[in-house]
Structure 1
C-alpha cells in the first residue's frame, strides 16, 4: 500500500517536473518575427534573394519588392542572417534575440558581384555548390539578360552570352532551328548538341522532319545529295519568360556527373518559382516586325544568250551559244519576301506563404516569317509548386504544357523551296503571268518551279503538343543528411502534313509528276508524318555534410539515375492526286513510307567527395558508372571519372594583410579533369545489322544494309583537362576569367570503306580520335558607377581548334546539301571543304587561258591533301591532256574565334543595352551564289551578258568548287534595347517600356544573304553550307512590362 502511494507521489512529482520543463522550453524558444528589405547599391529592390539563419534550416526569399519575413522559434542569443543571390556579393548580419522583443527589422544592401564566387550553381547533384568551390568554369545567364533580345526562342536569346559556346541560327524560319556547340565538336557520327535539363527534367531538342520528310526533297532526282536538314528544334517550345536563369556547363569535368548523355556539355534551365508574400502579377506584351535584312542585287542586263527563255534557263553555261535575245528582267525577291509581324504576350502570378509557394504563367507567341504565308504560334502554360510539409520534408512539382503550330514552306535542300525556286531560274520570266485557265505559267525547262506556285499553293503545316512535368521530394531525416528524389517526364507529339497540287507545267521527278512529258496520273503529292517522343528520368541522390573541425568540411554525395526514351515515327505519302484531294491515302501511287520504333534506357550510379579547407582550398573527386541498352552487354557499363580543385588565394590571411589586397580583390586558381561518354554516336539498335524487306523476281527477299556495324562497339569517350583563373580588381569593378582546355574524344565511331566482296560497302567500329583545344576569356567591367549613372561592359572571347587523329583511312567524304564537298582527314579540322581549285602562279595569282577564263589546277594527286602540279611548257597552264584534276582543302567552316561585346548603360530610369557578336576566320560553301550565276540572274552573269567578261567565264568557273567558297566572317549588331522605367502608377507597382531590335546590322563581305545560316541544320560535321535556307531576319520590337 505504501509502495503504491510512493509510486503515485513519484508520478505526480514527475508530472509537475514535466510541466515545469515544458514551460521552461516554451520560454526558451520564443516566437520571433524577422522582416526586412533587400536592395541593390542604388536602392532598387532585389527579388529572389535567399535569406537564411546560419546553422539552422530556416530561410526564405525576398518578394518582388525585396521584402522578406521569417516567423521562427528561436532561443535568446546571437544569430547570423545570411543574404545571397545570383550576381550579388553575399553578406551577413548579426541578429540579437532577447526575451523582451518579438519583432526585428533587418534591412540589407547587396553590391553587384563581378566574380560571383558566392553564387549557388547546380552541377548534377541534389545539393548545389558555390562558384568559389568549383574547379571548372560554369556560365550563368540571368532572366533579365535573356529578355533584352527581341526573340521568343530561348537559345537565340542565349547567343553571345556564355563563354565557350558557338550558338548559331540555321534558318530564318519563324521557328528556325538553333545549333549549340560547347567547346567545339564532340563527335562526327552523332549529335554534338549539349544535354538540356529544365528543373531537373531531361528534355529532347532533336530535329525530326514531319514535313519535307521524303528523301526526294534532296537536290538530286532521288535525293542522293541529301545529308543534313534544317527544321524546328524542340527548344522552340520553351517560353523564355518563364526562365529564372540558365547555367551552361562546358567541360567534361562539369558534366561527368551527368554521365553518358553529357559528352557535349550541359545546359541547365531553371524556371521561376514563387516566394513568400502577397501575390505578384507580371504582365508583358510586345509587338515585333521582321524584315529581310539584306536584299541581293540581281542581273539587269537587257539581253540573254540563246533564244527564247522557254527553251533553257542556263544558256549562259553553253559558251558556243553566242546569239542574244532581248529580255525583261525581274526581281523575284519582292514576290517571296514580306515584312512579318509578331506578338509575344505573357502573364504570371507568383506568391505564397512560408511553407507553400507557387508560380503560374500563361503565354501566347505569334511570329510571321519573312517568307510569305509562313508563321509560327505557341501557347504555353506553366505551374510550379514548392511545399514544405514539415522541417524535414519538402516537395516540389512543375507542369508545362505547350501547343505550337506552324505554316511552312519547303526549305533547305530542295529545288522547290521559295529560296531555291528564285535561285534556279533566270530572272526574265513574269512569274505572276497565268494562262487562259488561270494557271501559272512554266518558268524554263523541265525541273524549274514557279516561285508563286510554292508561295501560294504549297501547304505544309506542323502541330506539336508537349507536356514537360517534374516532381521531387527532399528529406532531411537526420542532421547534415539530405536525400532527394526527382521524377521528370518529357512527352510530345509532332504532326505534319504536306500538300503539293497538280500543275499544268512539266516539273522534275523530285516534284512528283515529272518526266520528259507530264504524267497526269502522277501529278500532285501529299504526305502525313508523325513523331511521338516519350522520355522519363528518375534521380535519387543523397548528400552528407560533415564539419570535421572549424577548418575542414566534407561533403559526400551518392546517387542513382534511370532514364528511358521511346520514339515512334511514321510517314505516309503518295503522288497522283485526284481533283480536290489533299491526303496521301487517296493518292494514285502510294510511296513506301516509314514506321520506325525506338526504345533505349540508361542507368547510372555516382559517388562524389568534396573537401573544403577554410573556405579557401577545395578538392572534388567523382566516379560514375553508366549502362546503356544502345551497346552490347560487354561494353554496356562505362566508368567516368572527375577530379577538380580550386584555391582562392585572395581568401588567405597572407593576402588579406598584404597591400595588394586593397586593389586586387580576387585571385582564384582552378583545374579540373573529367570524362564523359556519348550515346548519340549510333542509333538505339545501331549495333544490330538489320535487313530490309524487298521483292526479288516476284518473291519476298531481304536486302542487307550498306554498312556492317561491329556488334562490340562501345561509346565514344571524352577526356578533358581544364585550367583557369578568376580575378577581380578595384572593388570588384573589374572581373576577369581565363580558361584553357584540351579535350580528346577517343574511340570515335567511324564508317570505313571496305571491299564490296565482304557483302557490305562500309564497316562501322571504334577507331580514331578527335581533339579540341581552346581558350575562353571573359571580362566584366564597370567603368562608371554613380548614384544616377551606371555603365557595365562584358567582353567574351572564344577560340577553338579541332582536328581528327588516326581515323583509319586517309579521307572521309560526305554527300551533302548543295553538293558541298565535306571531308575529314588526319590532322585537319572536322568538316573542312574539299574539292577542285584554281590554278595559280608562284605569286598566288589565278591563271587564265588566252580567252581570259580561269582554269582548274591539274597534275598528279599524290594523296588526298597532297599533289604535284604540272604545267604545259608552251602555255604555262595545266596541261589539257595527261593530267588529273586536283583536289585539296579549299575552305574551313570552323571559325578561328568568336567574340561578343556587350554594353549596358543606366541613367536614372533610362536603360540602353547593346550587344555585338563577331565570328571571324570562317568559310561558307555558298552554293546559292554559284547557282545564281549559272541560271543568269546573278551580278557576275550580268557582266558576261554585257560583254564585260569573256564569253564562257561563268561556264569556266562553274565546276571549280573553290569558286563557291565565300568569306563567312561577320560582325553583327545582335541586340539593341532602349528602355524607360516609368515606375509606379495607379494600380501598378512597376511599368517599363522598351524599344529594341535584333540582327540589325551585319558587317561582312559575304555575297549571299547571311553567312550565319546552315542548310545542314544541327549536323556535327556539315556546317557553313548555304543552299536554300531562309535568311535570318532583322527584327524590331516594342515591349511593355508591368507589375501589379
Structure 2
C-alpha cells in the first residue's frame, strides 16, 4: 500500500510568537519585545501571483516565498486536486486560501506561524477509520557547539517530506508511521553544517550543529557585492580573522605580514603604534598615496589625520598616528578580502588603483544570547647591550679607545662636553686636577658602564580586553562589543590606549524589507617623545662612561655647548636625557564615531534595491610640550631654568619665561549615501543561464578643518597656565619680539564632494563559465584638470572558465579547476589640480601696509589623468575533495601619464611644476598552496604557503628635482630603474699610507662631470646597489591539532631587497666627542701601514693631519667648479659606500601559538559554554645576512637608528557563557 506523505515546508526565516533583543550595551541597544497574532499576521500578509495550470504545491511554494508562513499538508491530498489556474494581486493570504480550497474537501487553519491544511471533519473521520497505521512521537533538542538552543532548525526524515522545525528553545516534536524502519533524521539550518542522525528508538534525541565554515569560504566580499567564490572572475584573497589573529596585537594591519599573496608588508620601527606600509601589487603612482584603500562593511574609511603622501611614501617615515582602521578592534572582525586586479577594484573607481582591503565585521547569529570575553597579557622585550645588533663599546672599552686617540695626539673637538676619559684628560692638562685625581677619575669612568637601554627603555607590559554579546531570532539578530587595550611602548612613557565600542542589529522588518544598523566608536590616547628627543638614538650614540644619576640618586647633568646667534650668546647648558623626557611630551587624543544604516527591499524575487547611508565624525588633538626645565627651552632662553633672562642684543633670548606648546586640531566629517539595485535571474529549461546586474549611485562628502598653533610661555606644571609677560619691554628682547610678530596660527579648511555611478553585469552558464563587466565614473570637485576628462571612466572585463566541470567532471581526484582572466583601466588624479592659478591670501604686510598674496600653484590646464591598465590571469585548482588546493596569478600593470615634478626657474614664483611624465610598469605573479597532509582521528596537520614576486620599472624624462640624499636613500625616481633604487660610492680599498678610504671620485678628470645633471653624475660616479623594497615575499603557515590542543606557527620571508648598514663614521665626522659612544668595529680600524690587508675599517684622521680639511670637504662642493655636488666628505662617502650595503633577505618566525580549548565534559560544572587558553610569541627570531650583525633587515642606515621590531610573549584567555 502506498504510504501517505506529510509535507513540511519552511521559509528562510520564521516569525516567532514574539521577538526580543536581550541585554546589549547601555545606550547602544534596548530591550525590544512584542507579540504578533498569527492570524492577524496572515490576514495582513498580501501576495501577488499569476499561475496557469500548475499544481497546488507550486502555488503554496510561491505563497511561502513571498511571506513568512510555513505549510504542513499531506501531499497525496493536494496532488488529487490536479492542476489549477489562479491569479491574485495584493490579495490577503486568508482570502487566497479560501479560494484555492473552496469545494475541495480540504480546509486550513493557522497555528502560530504555520498553516495546517487538512480534510474537512467528515472526510477526516472517514480517513481516520480507514487509517490503521500507528504513529510514533519523536522529540529532541538541537543546540550549537556552545550549547545554545537553535530555533528554526529544519528536522525531517531523510528521503521524505515528513518533518518539523525547532521552537525558540531548540526543541522539536513530530509523529511518523511506526512501520517505517531504518529512519535517518536530517537537521539543517542556515550557516550550520547539515547533520544526519540514525534513529534507534530512543525517547529523546539531542543534536549539536556546528558552524558551516564552508559557507564563509565559498563567498568573497567586495564591499558592493557578495560573490560566489566558484563563479567569481577576479583576483581576490580572503582570510578569516581567526586564522590570522595574533593575541596582543591591537591593529589588524599588523597581522597581514606574509599572509596575503602579492601584498608587501614593511614595518620600519618597533615603536608602539607604528603603522606598517602596505603595497598591493607594487607601486601604481609616484607622487600620490601608494597605500591600499580600506573599506569597512562596504564603507570607505579615511585616515584620522591627513598625512602628506610624500611622507607616507618615504620608507624612513615613522607613522605613529595610525591609518583608517586604527580605531577598529580586531576582535570584532570576521574576515578580510583583499581586492587586487582591475576587475575586483573597478567598482571603487579612482580611489582603488593601489588595491582595496575590505574588512567585514561580525554579525549576530540566531540563538540565545552568548556572552564572550577575551583577554591578552603581553610582555615586549626591551633592547639590551647583549643584543647582536647593539655592537657598542662598554665604558672600559670606550675609555681605552679615548686613551688610544690621546696617545696618538688626537685633537678632540674644542667644544665637546668634558666627560669621560677626554674630560678627565682636559682637566689634567688644564691644571684643574693633579695626576692622582686624573687616575681616580679614569678608573671611575671605566666602572660607570651606564646601561642607557635599561634607563630609557623597559620590558613593557600590555593588556587588552574585549567583551561581546550576540544572539537573536530569525527576525532580529544583534552583536555588540566593548573593547579596551593598553599597549605600552618599550621606550619609557610611550603608550597607546584605546576604547572601542561596536553595536550591530539586523531586523527583518517585513517579509520583503531588511534593515541593518551599525555603530562604531573609538577613543584613542597616545603618548610619545617629542620630535627633538630620540631615546633609542641617545642610548645608541652616548658613551657608557657618562653617568645618568649621582650617587644619591639625583640626576647627573653635564654641560653641552649651545651656539648663539651671530656668534653672541654662545654658552654651555646642562643636559640630562631623563630630565628632558620628564619635562616634555608628545600627546595624541582622538575620538571617532560612525553610524551606518542599510535598508534592503525585495521588489521581486529576482530584484532588490538597497539604500545605504553612513555618517562619521572624528576629532584629533596633537600636543607637543617642552617645559621650561628642558635644555631645548634653555637654548631658546639662552640661560638655565633658574636664570633671569638677559635683555638686549647680548641676551639673544627668544623665550624669556615658560615653555612651548604646539597644537594641531583636526576634525573630519564624512557622509556617504548609496542607492544600489541588484538583479539576479535564472532562466532556461534547467535554470542553466544566470544573469546578475548591479546598478548604483553614490554620493560622498568629506569635510575637514584643522588648526595649527604654537604658543610660548606655557606652564603646564602650574595648572596649564601661561607666563605673564605684560610687564616685559619687548624692545629688550628683540628676537622674542620678532617671533611674536610672525604668524604662528594656521587654519585650514577642506571640502571634497564626489558623485559616482557604477555598473556591474555578469552572465554565467551553469558552472561552466562566467563573463563579467564592471564600470564606474566619478565626478568630483577635486578633479580640476581638463574638463572633458573629468568623468574618466574606470572599467574592467573578466571571465572564468570551469575546466573541471567542462572536461574533467568524472575525475574523482579533481575537485576544482578554474581559469580566470581580467583586463581593465583605472585612473588617478592628484588633489587641487586646476586650469587656474591658485594663490594664497596672506595677512597684511606691516612693511608695505598692503595685503599680500603668494602663488600657491600654477595653472595646469593640460594635466591628464594617470591611467593604470592591468591584465590578470589566474588558475585555481583543488584536489582530493579539498585536501590539496593550489592557486596562482600573473599580472601585468602599466601606469601611463605618470605624475612627476619638474623644476622651473624661480622667476616664475615657484620652483617646480607638475606634469605627466613617463610610465610605471609592474609585473608579478603569486603561487599559493594549502593542504591537509594528515587527518587521522583526532589529529590533523594543515599547511599553507604563498610566494609572490613583483618587479617594477619607471620610465620618465630626467628632471632636476632630487637632491643627493635622495639618490643615496632610494627616494629619487630614476628612469629605467625600480622604485626604491639607491646608489652607493664604489669602495676601492684603504689607502696604504694613512688608512683613508679610496674611491674613484673623478678627481683627476673633473671636466667629464661638468654641466651634467645630478642624475647623470650619480650614474657615472656611483654604483647601483639595488632596491629597498623586496622583490619576493611569502610565508609558510602550519597548524597541528590534536583534540583540544592546537600548535600553529607562521614563518614570513622577504627576498630581493638591499639595506645599508648603520652609519659608522657619522657620529665622529666632526671629531670624536667625549659624550659619543662608538661601535666595536673601531677596535679593528686601520692604525698602521699593512692593516689595509686585514681590515676595511678606515683610520681616524687627526685634525692636525695636513689632509684633514681635504678629506672633510669634497672637491665637488667648491663653488668655482661646474659640477653638481655629489659628495660631502670622505667619511660620509664611506658610510654610503657599496661595502656598507648588504642583503635585506630574511626569514622571520612571525608568530608561534599554542592553544588549548577545554573539552565540553570539563565545562559541564562551570558557567562556561566554551573556554580556551593560549601562549604565543611574535618576532621570536629572524634569520638574515651575517653581515648585518643583528641589525634588523627591515631597518637601514638611510636614517638614524630606530627601535627595531621587538619580540613579545602573550598569554590569552577566551571564554563564552
Both structures adopt the same fold (TM-score exceeding 0.5):
yes
**Aligned equivalents of 1:70 and 1:962: distance in 2?**
82
Count of residues in correspondence between the two structures = 947
1:906-945 alignment, distance < 5 Å: 906-925=1041-1060, 931-932=1066-1067, 935-944=1076-1085
**Aligned equivalents of 1:636 and 1:793: distance in 2?**
48
User: Is 1:1010 aligned with 2:1010?
Assistant: no
Deviation string for 1:641-691 (max 9, x for gaps)?
Answer: 111101111123x4122xxx2223221111111222335x33588975233
Question: Does 596-605 or 713-722 show the bigger shift?
Answer: 713-722
**Aligned equivalents of 1:49 and 1:512: distance in 2?**
77
Q: 2:826 is matched with which residue? A: 676
**Aligned equivalents of 2:1081 and 2:239: distance in 1?**
45
Q: 1:521 is matched with which residue? A: 655
Change (3 A) 1:293 1:425: closer
Secondary structure of the 1:824 match is: coil
Deviation string for 1:932-973 (max 9, x for gaps)?
Answer: 565542223444498885533797433342366454322211
1:20 to 102, 108, 118: 102
Q: Does the 8 Å contact 2:985/2:1137 carry over to 1?
A: yes
Q: 1:982 is matched with which residue? A: 1158
**Aligned equivalents of 1:998 and 1:583: distance in 2?**
41
Change (3 A) 1:92 1:636: farther
Q: 2:248 is matched with which residue? A: 150
**Aligned equivalents of 2:97 and 2:650: distance in 1?**
107
Q: 1:375 is matched with which residue? A: 495
Question: Does 961-970 or 338-347 show the bigger shift?
Answer: 961-970
Deviation string for 1:444-495 (max 9, x for gaps)?
Answer: 6669964323432222221111102211000101220011011122321111
1:958 to 1132, 1138, 1150: 1132
Q: Does the 8 Å contact 2:142/2:170 carry over to 1?
A: yes
1:275-286 alignment, distance < 5 Å: 275-286=365-376
User: Is 1:824 aligned with 2:977?
Assistant: no
2:1039 to 901, 904, 908: 904
1:491 to 617, 624, 641: 617
Instruction: Give 1:177 deviation, angstroms.
Output: 1.6
Q: 1:501 is matched with which residue? A: 627
**Aligned equivalents of 2:262 and 2:347: distance in 1?**
20
2:670 to 535, 547, 552: 535
**Aligned equivalents of 2:747 and 2:1202: distance in 1?**
28
**Aligned equivalents of 1:897 and 1:625: distance in 2?**
34
Q: Does the 8 Å contact 2:1179/2:1208 carry over to 1?
A: yes
Change (3 A) 1:558 1:737: same
Secondary structure of the 2:931 match is: strand
Instruction: Give 1:818 deviation, angstroms.
Output: 13
Q: Does the 8 Å contact 2:381/2:460 carry over to 1?
A: yes
Secondary structure of the 2:415 match is: coil
Q: Higher helix proportion, which one?
A: 2
Q: 1:407 is matched with which residue? A: 527
1:748 to 898, 913, 917: 898
Instruction: Give 1:511 deviation, angstroms.
Output: 11
Change (3 A) 1:584 1:26: farther
**Aligned equivalents of 1:49 and 1:118: distance in 2?**
25
Q: 1:1020 is matched with which residue? A: none
Secondary structure of the 2:1053 match is: strand
Q: 2:874 is matched with which residue? A: 724
Secondary structure of the 1:723 match is: strand
1:433-582 alignment, distance < 5 Å: 440-443=557-560, 450-503=576-629, 519=653, 521=655, 524-549=659-684, 550-575=687-712, 577=714
Q: 2:744 is matched with which residue? A: 592
1:121 to 210, 216, 220: 220
Change (3 A) 1:642 1:47: farther
**Aligned equivalents of 1:640 and 1:607: distance in 2?**
10
1:838 to 986, 999, 1021: 986
Question: Does 155-164 or 701-710 show the bigger shift?
Answer: 701-710
Q: Does the 8 Å contact 2:1050/2:1149 carry over to 1?
A: yes
Question: Does 498-507 or 148-157 show the bigger shift?
Answer: 498-507
Q: 2:1209 is matched with which residue? A: 1036
**Aligned equivalents of 1:226 and 1:793: distance in 2?**
33
Instruction: Give 1:422 deviation, angstroms.
Output: 3.5
Instruction: Give 1:789 deviation, angstroms.
Output: 0.8
**Aligned equivalents of 1:395 and 1:521: distance in 2?**
60
**Aligned equivalents of 1:256 and 1:564: distance in 2?**
20
User: Is 1:420 aligned with 2:593?
Assistant: no
**Aligned equivalents of 2:1078 and 2:707: distance in 1?**
40
Instruction: Give 1:929 deviation, angstroms.
Output: 5.6
Change (3 A) 1:754 1:15: closer
1:231 to 320, 324, 327: 320
Q: 2:75 is matched with which residue? A: none
Instruction: Give 1:189 deviation, angstroms.
Output: 1.2
Instruction: Give 1:729 deviation, angstroms.
Output: 1.9
Deviation string for 1:770-816 (max 9, x for gaps)?
Answer: 111111111111111112111111111111111112x2325652687
1:778 to 907, 910, 928: 928
**Aligned equivalents of 2:761 and 2:293: distance in 1?**
24
Q: Does the 8 Å contact 1:119/1:131 carry over to 2?
A: yes
More RCO (CA 8 Å, sep 6+): 1
Instruction: Give 1:239 deviation, angstroms.
Output: 0.2
**Aligned equivalents of 1:357 and 1:800: distance in 2?**
44
**Aligned equivalents of 2:637 and 2:480: distance in 1?**
47
Q: Does the 8 Å contact 2:934/2:940 carry over to 1?
A: yes
2:802 to 644, 648, 671: 648
Change (3 A) 1:331 1:867: same
1:844-859 alignment, distance < 5 Å: 846=989, 848=991, 850-859=993-1002
Instruction: Give 1:415 deviation, angstroms.
Output: 5.1
Q: Does the 8 Å contact 2:275/2:318 carry over to 1?
A: no
Q: Does the 8 Å contact 2:772/2:799 carry over to 1?
A: yes
**Aligned equivalents of 1:48 and 1:975: distance in 2?**
36
2:340 to 226, 234, 250: 250
Q: 1:992 is matched with which residue? A: 1172
1:352-371 alignment, distance < 5 Å: 352-371=472-491
Q: 2:777 is matched with which residue? A: 625
**Aligned equivalents of 1:109 and 1:831: distance in 2?**
49
Deviation string for 1:697-751 (max 9, x for gaps)?
Answer: 4434535347535145344222111101011123321111111111112222211
Give ranges in structure 1 of 5+ residues lacking alignment: 1-12, 54-61, 72-78, 95-102, 219-224, 841-845, 870-884, 1015-1023
Q: 1:432 is matched with which residue? A: 549
Question: Does 616-625 or 515-524 show the bigger shift?
Answer: 515-524
Q: Does the 8 Å contact 1:899/1:918 carry over to 2?
A: yes
Instruction: Give 1:186 deviation, angstroms.
Output: 1.9
Instruction: Give 1:21 deviation, angstroms.
Output: 7.7
Secondary structure of the 1:264 match is: coil
Secondary structure of the 1:919 match is: strand
2:458 to 320, 335, 338: 338
Question: Does 358-367 or 175-184 show the bigger shift?
Answer: 175-184
Change (3 A) 1:105 1:1031: same
1:298 to 392, 401, 404: 392
**Aligned equivalents of 1:867 and 1:16: distance in 2?**
94
Instruction: Give 1:314 deviation, angstroms.
Output: 13
Secondary structure of the 1:642 match is: strand
User: Is 1:969 aligned with 2:1153?
Assistant: no
Superposed CA RMSD: 4.6
Q: Does the 8 Å contact 1:202/1:488 carry over to 2?
A: no
Secondary structure of the 2:579 match is: helix
Question: Does 568-577 or 262-271 show the bigger shift?
Answer: 568-577
**Aligned equivalents of 1:791 and 1:428: distance in 2?**
54
Secondary structure of the 1:644 match is: strand
